[in-house]
Amino acid sequence: MISRRPGRHALAFIFITVLVDMIGLGIIIPVLPQLIVDLTGLSLPQAALWGGALATIYAFMQFVCAPIVGNLSDRFGRRPVLMFSLAGFSLDYLVMGLAPYLWVLFIGRTLSGVFGATYTTAGAYIADVSPPEKRGANFGLIGAAFGLGFIIGPVIGGFLGEIDHRLPFFVAAGLGFANLAYGFIVLPETLTEENRRPFRLFNANPFGAMLQMRQYPIVFGLLGAFALFYLGHASLPAIWAYYGPEKFGWSEADVGLSLGAVGVTAAFVQGYLARKAIPALGAKRAAITGFTIAAAAYFGYALAPNTAAMYVIIVLGALAGIGGPAMQGIMSNQVPANMQGALSGATTSLSSLMTVFGPGLMTFIFYNFSNHDAALYFPGAPFALAGVLTLFAVVIIARVIGRHKVTA
């Protein structure tokens, strides 16, 4: 039974939930490398291998659990699933902060992937409470929370890490428990009994949406470009916190500030500039331009001689943010209204799948080229590979939209 109508507090809670999830994910990025070193006694390049494994298990659990969590919310309602996930998320970071051994971190990352897969439920909640004419604007809350959380989390984590490597984990746990208490007070249920459906594991299939896209040749072809892009993009979260300290001697605060700069510039481009640039250039040209800039930025990171150059590349590379929205616009125009959700599910599943493989690949390459005994010392090798993969994505985009005469 729904006890009261959801109001502004409910939407605020959804925004805060996604924000807290992203802050929790970002807040540990600057300190996780040193925590692994402390627990294992390994060198930083060796620790990067374990960091990649931790990122892989997190992504894999999100890939598996996101559709399951979404289907559970259709069966039992949005509120209990969100509350349960947030409680597990908070407890998980507390356990990770207290971890005495490396294997405890693996348990923590596994649980983080399970309980952090709340975005589908958050989106369903917004759809429940929003009239059709306001649904798009309210969905923007999730994107805004993503960007803001990625700005806040690493910066806070970097500075807290200067005090203690474990402190960011406890702060993330505290934020989660505070939001859980807030949700118990303000969050009503929005899914009525008559609109609930039985849970069937067969329907919670992360590959189903991608397979449906085969009937749309342009979309199916562009998904290949997205796959290469996402695989290359995995180099940023997987390598950044190791690359800066290894090549430039960055502290944890330096890592946090640099990631904050990435978040600020990306938020500006995707939240404001893309709305101006895509209509001016056209979706086709904007997509090719954005992905080409992304490839150039990866090569720039790989070859950057100093910290100042990295910040210049961060600012210029942020212009790549027009490429993703342009691509999504092209694909969205190829499918009917009743397939927009399936298209979104396909791209989300593809992103998660590439994130499963990407971090392990990138950290393995980083280890082999950052080891001072290696025949070629080149810690930027993962970024160079990302640049190559993104260039191949540009070629696919150009061929697909050229072959099918996409004029947008």
The residues of the chain scoring below 50 in pLDDT are 1-4, 133, 135-137, 337-338, 341
Q: What percent of the chain has pLDDT over 90?
A: 19
Q: What is the CA radius of gyration of the chain?
A: 21
Per-position b or e across 371-387, b if 16+ CB within 10 A of its CB:
eeeeeeebbbbbbbbbb
Q: How far is CA 165 from the centre of its chain?
A: 23
What was the pLDDT predicted at 4? 46
* Phi/psi at 61 (5° precision): -65, -35
206 by DSSP, 3-state: which?
coil
- Amino acid code (one letter) for 307: T
What was the pLDDT predicted at 41? 86
Q: How far is CA 329 from the centre of its chain?
A: 20
**Cα–Cα nearest to 233, from 383, 54, 52:** 383
What was the pLDDT predicted at 214? 82
What was the pLDDT predicted at 200? 64
Q: Exposed, middle or buried, 279 (CB in 10 Å: 0-12/13-18/19+)? A: exposed
pTM exceeding the 0.85 threshold for the entire prediction:
no
Residues 6+ apart with CB under 8 A from 145: 15, 16, 18, 19, 22
- Amino acid code (one letter) for 385: L
What was the pLDDT predicted at 67? 66
Residues 6+ apart with CB under 8 A from 307: 244, 248, 250, 254
pLDDT, tens digit (0-9, with 9 covering 90-100), for 148-184:
777 788 888 888 888 888 898 899 889 888 888 887 8
- Dihedral of CA atoms 372, 376, 380, 386 in degrees, nearest 10, equals -130
CATH topology of domain 7-188: Growth Hormone; Chain: A; (1.20.1250)
Decide which of 3.30.590.20, 1.10.1040.10, 1.20.1250.20, 2.60.40.2470 is the CATH code for 205-408.
1.20.1250.20
* Helix boundaries (H) for 234-339: 235-248, 252-268, 274-281, 283-303, 307-317, 323-332
What was the pLDDT predicted at 313? 97
Residues 6+ apart with CB under 8 A from 60: 113, 356
- Helix (H) or strand (E) holding 193, with range, is none
Q: How far apart are the first and last CA of the chain?
A: 47
Q: What is the mean pLDDT of the chain?
A: 80
What was the pLDDT predicted at 136? 45
Query: Which residue spans of the chain are classified as CATH 1.20.1250.20?
Result: 7-188, 205-408
What was the pLDDT predicted at 72? 76
Length of the chain: 408
